[in-house]
Amino acid sequence: MKSRQYLLAKRPVGTPTAENWDYVETELAPLGKNQISVKVLYISLDPAMRGWMNDGKSYIPPVGIGEVMRAGGVGQVIESTDDNFAPGDYVYGGFGVCDNAVISTQGVHKVDPKLAPLERYLGVLGMPGMTAYFGILDTGQPKAGETVVVSGAAGAVGTVVGQIAKIKGCRVVGIAGGEEKCRYLVEELGFDGAIDYKNGDVKTGLKEQCPDGVDVFFDNVGGDILDDVLTRINMKARIVICGAISQYNNTTPVKGPSNYLTLLVNRARMEGIVVFDNIENYGKAAAEMATWIAQGKLIAKEHVVEGLATFPDTLLMLFRGENFGKLVIKVDHAQ
């Protein structure tokens, strides 16, 4: 079985470019014990991928030079040496940025295309949904009547965070780039307000949209937006640090939050989250979110780009703020 693959050729300095990738075609090894071969159908593109391209200690090891770029995906089993998986099964796993993969079945699980479109298992029903669910509920601890602000609000995680906070009875304000996204958050997802950081001052927007201050801030963006929100936090506010996409391509040091001493004045808390810590509770979370989806309380949004070869460019959409909902590549396969 052949596979087209994106290998990490070189660690990026700043924004990844063509020279960071090798796009190759390889003959895959035959299956070993407890392995499957998979036809990859959808590939998940996530801000965290930028971190995996760097060397150095993080919550998981970096991708090695010459290795297939790490990515979650959904695909269909072609062959299997594991009794739990049969050809034809649809599965979620870390297949990487490629069109076919041979992989050990540890960490692979089946998904049901009758319950949800396959790409949704990379969004609301996948890592971003889990990140949002545990981050906002366990770490953010929103209470009815509180004001919740989320940055990267139109992204895979942000859309879910805001909708869950609405379900919990909060006033929800999203920070996103562009009028279309902001309108969508309010009109389609039911956010109480949206602030367009590309068109106006975030501080002014926060004053207008959060007259009672900010009780919970779920931050995907970092940089100036984090600093602006820190000036508006309430007593005992919770700031959930999920990511800092504005800083991932920096060639200079990350911009730390100059206003962090508002944590002191307000006895507030800033806490980091990593979704994998909740792995034993994914099932419960997925069931609750599936119920909300069925009840129309939680709307899923995916942004699908076609073609494996678009990968280097499509990845950059995340850092330019161009994706609208969960960004996935739909893999093209010869008939």
Binding site for a second copy (CB under 8 A): 57-59, 222, 227, 241-244, 247, 253-274, 277
**Least distance from a second copy to the Cβ atom of residue 198, Å:** 23
240 φ/ψ angles, rounded to the nearest 5 degrees = -95, 115
CB distance 64 to 110 below 8 Å: no
Residue whose CB is less far from a second copy, 272 or 283: 272
Between residues 253 and 296, which has the closer beta carbon with respect to a second copy? Answer: 253
**Selection from 332, 301, 329, 302 nearest residue 316 by Cα:** 329
- What minimum distance in Å lies between the beta carbon of 180 and a second copy? 29
E strand spans, 94-222: 100-104, 109-110, 147-151, 171-176, 193-196, 214-219
With respect to a second copy, which residue has the nearer C-beta, 147 or 262?
A: 262
Half-sphere exposure of 264 (CA within 13 A, CB side): 4
- For residue 45, which of 107, 123, 113, 112 has the smallest C-alpha distance? 123
CB closer to a second copy out of 188 and 277: 277
CB of 304 to a second copy, least distance (A): 28
Tell me the closest approach of the beta carbon of residue 273 to a second copy, in angstroms.
6
Rounded distance between C-alpha atoms, residue 196 and residue 205, angstroms: 8
Residue position matching structure tokens 């979704």? 275
* CB closer to a second copy out of 76 and 266: 266
- For a second copy, the closer of residues 36 and 241 by Cβ is 241
Nearer to a second copy, 79 or 224 (CB): 224
**Distance in Å, CB of 257 to a second copy, minimum:** 4
To a second copy, the closest distance from the beta carbon of 102 in angstroms equals 31
**Rounded least distance, CB 218 to a second copy, Å:** 13
How far, in Å, are 132, 303, 318, 328 from residue 156 at the CA level? 9, 9, 10, 10
| Inter-residue contact 329 to 42 (CB < 8 Å) | yes
Answer for the pair 91, 108: CB distance below 8 angstroms, yes or no: yes
Query: Angle between the 156-167 and 282-294 helix axes, to the nearest 10 degrees?
Result: 70
Q: Are 169 and 147 in contact (CB under 8 A)?
A: no
Give whichever of 81 and 266 is closer to a second copy, judged by the CB atom: 266
The enclosing H or E element of 157 equals helix 156-167
Minimum distance from residue 308 beta carbon to a second copy (Å): 30
